[in-house]
């Protein structure tokens, strides 16, 4: 038949095979050049300098993103005096799943680190909820809060040229002097 005259040629080692299925058996048993070529490609991919640099860049970018994200976090430890209980002084409002501070008084105001518009992230290492925030601390008791600052106000374009930032210079032409 015509299939007996077909010749199979291995692409890697250029060996010719006459019997049917000989080329398939050759590939199944592992062409010497085939396995070494595949291993070389794998090794080349593992040792690729470009791939390593891309991975290092991704790690650096992720680390920088996390660092920037953490710049907005404020950790505040509020502690009541040893002799009396004290009001924490944080009033919150649930704003779509996040607790936004609406009023600051008491220990929170005294700390100077908490302001209106801050978002309560956690209280005592646990995720914050409206029920978990105490209104008062017993004498000598401490509470740790983590807040996220709101984004700062971005001034209008050209606001640095206002006279409050730069002294105006009055220059008179020579003809007028």
Nearest to 110, CA basis, from 88, 91, 138, 132: 88
* Predicted local confidence at residue 3, as pLDDT: 55
* Predicted local confidence at residue 160, as pLDDT: 67
pTM passes above 0.85: no
CB 118 within 8 A of CB 150: yes
Q: What is the pLDDT of residues 39-83, one digit of tens each?
A: 778 888 888 888 889 999 999 999 999 999 899 999 999 999 999
Query: Cα–Cα distance between 140 and 154 in angstroms, integer?
Result: 41
Helix/strand/coil for 36: helix
- DSSP code string of 141-175: -EEEEEEEPPPPPPPPTTGGGSTTTS-------TT
Query: Across the chain, what does the average pLDDT equal?
Result: 84
Q: What is the pLDDT of residues 114-127, one digit of tens each?
A: 999 999 999 988 99
* Predicted local confidence at residue 1, as pLDDT: 42
CB 91 within 8 A of CB 101: yes
* Predicted local confidence at residue 164, as pLDDT: 64
DSSP 16: E
Radius of gyration of the chain (CA): 36
- Which single residue is written with the structure tokens 């490609």? 41
């Amino acid at each position: 038949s015509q299939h007996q005259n077909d010749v199979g040629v291995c692409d890697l080692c250029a060996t010719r095979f006459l019997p049917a299925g000989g080329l398939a058996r050759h590939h199944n048993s592992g062409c010497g050049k085939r396995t070494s070529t595949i291993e070389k490609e794998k090794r080349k991919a593992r040792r690729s300098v470009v791939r390593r640099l891309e991975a290092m860049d991704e790690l650096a970018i992720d680390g920088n993103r996390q660092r920037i994200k953490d710049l907005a976090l404020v950790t505040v430890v509020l502690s009541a005096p040893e002799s009396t209980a004290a009001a924490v002084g944080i009033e919150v409002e649930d704003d779509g799943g996040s607790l936004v501070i609406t009023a600051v008084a008491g220990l929170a105001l005294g700390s100077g680190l908490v302001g209106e518009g801050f978002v309560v992230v956690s209280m005592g290492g646990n995720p914050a909820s409206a029920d978990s925030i105490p209104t008062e601390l017993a004498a000598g008791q401490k509470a740790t809060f983590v807040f996220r600052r709101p984004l700062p106000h971005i001034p209008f374009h050209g606001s640095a040229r206002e006279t409050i930032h730069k002294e105006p210079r009055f220059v008179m032409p020579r003809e007028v002097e």
